[in-house]
């Protein structure tokens, strides 16, 4: 399954909507999109993973790198996750305690 991206906004947060599978082959595209959103000063970025059916360690690494970059500049990266299989991956890796994770983009942007 291919991956697709859309960029929107929710309040003051930039939102990157991701659909498909985030793996070794699609992680570079995700990195480029997040780098684009992370430039230009402190901001909050919400990555909408509600349309993601699979994410591997490469995709998780991209998210962690973007989080570090944004926090270093006074911003934040939050995740919208509603699929149990994606939530389980975050839980197993301990990333559910690193990222703010909410079931919807709206909730992630508000927190």
For 46-66, the pLDDT digits (tens) are 999 999 999 999 999 999 999
Report how far residue 10's alpha carbon sits from residue 83's, in angstroms, rounded to the nearest whole number: 21
Place of tokens 């919208």: 80
One-character DSSP codes across 11-74? TTEEEEEEEEEESTTTHHHHHHHHHHHH-SSS-EEEEEEEEEEEE-HHHHHHHHHHHHHHHHTT
For 91-111, the pLDDT digits (tens) are 999 999 999 999 999 999 998
Domains annotated on the chain, with CATH: 4-110 (3.30.750.24)
Given a contact cutoff of 8 angstroms between Cβ atoms, the answer to whether 63 and 99 are in contact is yes
- pTM (two decimals): 0.95
For 13-34, the pLDDT digits (tens) are 999 999 999 999 999 999 999 9
């Amino acid at each position: 399954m291919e991956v697709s991206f859309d960029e929107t906004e929710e309040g003051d947060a930039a939102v990157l909507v991701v659909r498909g599978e985030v793996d070794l082959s699609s992680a570079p595209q995700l990195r480029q999109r997040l780098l684009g959103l992370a430039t230009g000063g402190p901001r909050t970025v919400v990555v909408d993973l509600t349309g993601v059916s699979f994410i591997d360690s490469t995709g998780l690494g991209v998210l962690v790198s973007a989080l570090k970059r944004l926090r270093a500049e006074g911003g934040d990266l939050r995740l919208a996750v509603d699929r149990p299989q994606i939530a389980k991956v975050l839980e197993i890796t301990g990333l559910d305690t690193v990222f703010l994770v909410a079931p919807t983009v709206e909730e992630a942007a508000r927190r």
